[in-house]
Amino acid sequence: MLNRRRLLTGGAFFTGGLLLPHQQLLAQMKRSEVDPEFVVTNGRIRQSIMGWCFRDHFDAIELAHHCKAIGLVAMEGIPREAYPEVRKLGLDISLISSHGFAKGPCNPENHDEVVAKLTEAIDVATQVNCKKVITFTGMRYDGMDDEEAAKRCVDTWKEVVPIAEKAGVTLVLEHLNSRDDTHPMKGHPGYFGDDVDFCVDLIRQVDSPNFQLLFDIYHVSIMNGDIIRRIRQYKDVIGHYHTAGNPGRAELDNTQEINYPAILEEILKTGYKGFVAQEFIPDWDDPVLALRHAAQLCDI
């Protein structure tokens, strides 16, 4: 009799007359199936990590050492003062933060701050050889007219895009879910750009190869779904990816609904060469094992 572990390591599992490939089994990977010594070996997905998710457990440099040991190749969402040490470890900076999701260009009161912070972030990106800077629409406000707010977003980004183009940097607009109100970083009620199709429309109005979409798989799952079809549909404007388990924004394990191996295979089929950043909030009692699990699951 073959046991489950031998079937897993053999790459296939026979059930009901069907042979399931190894990667389909990985989609159901449990905590008990994580190799505690796993190190990224395939590297077809360039894995990064969003540092804020682990800040209750490690400072940026401690986290960087764990990332290096596991085989991740980049970090983002960490304090800028940590950049030099992180880069000394051989890790890239995959994304530069800017004006934050709350104060976006949909509100005219934020215009000057958004332009200034995006411009400054582009400058930081060039200094650390990072190619992506994040931007957001911002939160709705009382009396807002949606059409005017959308035009204001596009016009503001058009002011900054020439600076990004000259620097060889791409601004990536993140779609966020407005549905989850259980935690301030699991959902963002009131966020203007909560429909990924609407965000793509804004991107196409800006009409620059240096203005693209940050496709957050977790947020798209909550608000829109049909993830693989949307990846195929929008592959020409996707400039960055984030992960997390849904529901809960926790590990990518068998307690959540997103089939990450299939999604990652589709990402590779599109020819995407950028980073995929792990942006889940660890819920396991061992956050390093949680990160190792995500790295193992995504090393397809």
pLDDT digits (tens, 9 = 90+) for 235-245: 999 999 999 99
Structural domains in the chain? 42-298 (3.20.20.150)
Q: Is the whole-model pTM more than 0.85?
A: yes
| Amino acid 252: pLDDT | 96
Q: What is the DSSP letter of 47?
A: E
| Amino acid 26: pLDDT | 52
The helix (run of H) or strand (run of E) holding residue 155 is helix 146-167
**Residue 285 in 3-state DSSP?**
coil
Phi, psi of 50 (to 5 degrees): -90, 110
Give me the numbers of helices (H) and strands (E) for the chain, helices first please.
11, 10
Please give the structure tokens belonging to residue 156: 């503001």
| Amino acid 27: pLDDT | 52
What distance lies between CA 20 and its chain's CA centroid? Answer: 29
| Amino acid 6: pLDDT | 38
Sites in the chain below the pLDDT cut of 70: 1-29
For residues 46 and 272, give the distance between their C-alpha atoms in angstroms, rounded to a whole number.
10
Contact in structure between 72 and 118 (CB atoms under 8 Å) = no
| Amino acid 10: pLDDT | 42
β-strand 170-174 against 132-135: which pairing, if any?
parallel
**Residue 12 in 3-state DSSP?**
strand
Alpha-helix residue ranges (DSSP H) falling in 11-145: 22-26, 60-70, 83-88, 111-127
Question: Could you tell me which of 249, 231, 248, 251 has the C-alpha nearest to residue 240?
Answer: 231
For residues 298 and 152, give the distance between their C-alpha atoms in angstroms, rounded to a whole number.
38
Please give the structure tokens belonging to residue 216: 């957050």
DSSP secondary structure, 169-219, as one string: -EEEEEP--SS--SSTTT--TTBS---HHHHHHHHHHH--TTEEEEEEHHH
Residue at 108: amino acid letter: P
Contact in structure between 91 and 64 (CB atoms under 8 Å) = yes
Residue at 101: amino acid letter: F
